[in-house]
C-alpha cells in the first residue's frame, strides 16, 4: 500500500492522537488533491470560454443538463447546487435562455414552481466542451506522478465519505499496490 492510501485508511476513522501523527501525509494528500482539482477546473473553464460560455454559466448548464432530463431542475435547486443566491441563479438561467440553451417550463408536480430544462443545443454545446476537456485532461493525466494520483484519490475518497472497507476503497488500494 502506498503512502497516500495508507494515510487515507489511517485518517478516515482514527483517534485524535493517531491523526496527529499522520497529519503531514494527510496534508500532502490535500495539497495533491487541490493541485489536481485546480488543474482540471482550469482546463474545464478554459474550454467553456473557448466555446462561448463563462465558467459559471457552464457549471449552471452542467447542473441543468445533469438533472433528470424529463424533470429538469428548479432555480432554487440550481442555486443550491452552485452555492449561489437564487436571484443570481435566476439571472444565469435568463442568460442561458437568451443563448437558447435552456427553457423554463411549469412544474408538473408543483404548479407554483418553474423548472429549467436543457435544450438540444445545450446537449451539443456540452458535448463539444467535453470532447475538448477530455483531450486536455488526458494530457494532464500523463503529467501526473502516480503518488499525486493516489494522494488525490485518497482525499476525494475521504471527502465523499468512502468507507475504507468498501469494495471501491479495496480497488483503490489494490491499484496503489500494483
Q: Could you tell me the residue ranges of all domains in the chain? A: 3-177
Is pLDDT above 90 for 73? yes
Does the domain made of 3-177 have the CATH classification 1.10.10.10?
Answer: yes
Task: Please state, in angstroms and rounded to a whole number, the distance separating the CA atoms of residues 94 and 87.
Answer: 11
Between 169 and 120, name the one with better pLDDT: 120
Would you place residue 3 in the very low, low, confident or very high pLDDT band (cuts 50, 70, 90)? low
Contact 107, 74 (CB under 8 A): yes
* pTM score over 0.85: no
HSE, CB side, 13 Å, CA atoms: give it for residue 114: 10
Those residues whose C-beta lies under 8 Å from the C-beta of residue 115, and which sit 6 or more positions away, are 71, 72, 73, 74, 104, 105, 106, 107
Is pLDDT above 60 for 39? yes
Q: Retrieve residue 151's grid coordinates.
A: 494522494
HSE, CB side, 13 Å, CA atoms: give it for residue 133: 20
HSE, CB side, 13 Å, CA atoms: give it for residue 42: 7
Taking all residues of the chain, what is their mean pLDDT, rounded to a whole number?
Answer: 87
Amino acid at each position: 500500500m502506498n503512502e497516500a492510501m495508507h494515510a487515507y485508511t489511517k485518517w478516515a476513522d482514527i483517534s485524535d492522537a493517531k491523526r496527529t501523527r499522520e497529519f503531514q501525509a494527510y496534508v500532502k494528500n490535500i495539497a495533491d488533491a487541490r493541485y489536481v482539482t485546480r488543474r482540471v477546473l482550469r482546463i474545464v473553464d478554459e474550454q467553456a470560454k473557448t466555446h462561448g460560455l463563462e465558467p459559471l454559466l457552464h457549471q449552471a448548464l452542467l447542473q441543468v443538463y445533469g438533472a433528470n432530463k424529463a424533470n429538469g431542475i428548479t432555480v432554487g435547486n440550481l442555486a443550491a447546487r452552485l452555492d449561489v443566491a437564487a436571484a443570481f441563479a435566476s439571472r444565469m438561467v435568463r442568460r442561458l435562455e437568451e443563448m437558447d440553451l435552456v427553457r423554463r417550463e411549469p412544474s408538473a408536480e408543483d404548479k407554483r414552481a418553474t423548472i429549467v430544462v436543457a435544450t438540444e443545443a445545450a446537449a451539443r454545446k456540452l458535448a463539444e466542451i467535453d470532447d475538448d476537456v477530455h483531450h486536455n485532461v488526458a494530457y494532464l493525466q500523463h503529467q501526473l506522478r502516480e503518488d499525486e494520483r493516489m494522494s488525490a484519490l485518497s482525499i476525494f475518497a475521504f471527502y465523499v465519505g468512502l468507507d475504507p472497507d468498501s469494495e471501491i476503497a479495496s480497488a483503490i488500494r489494490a491499484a496503489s499496490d500494483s
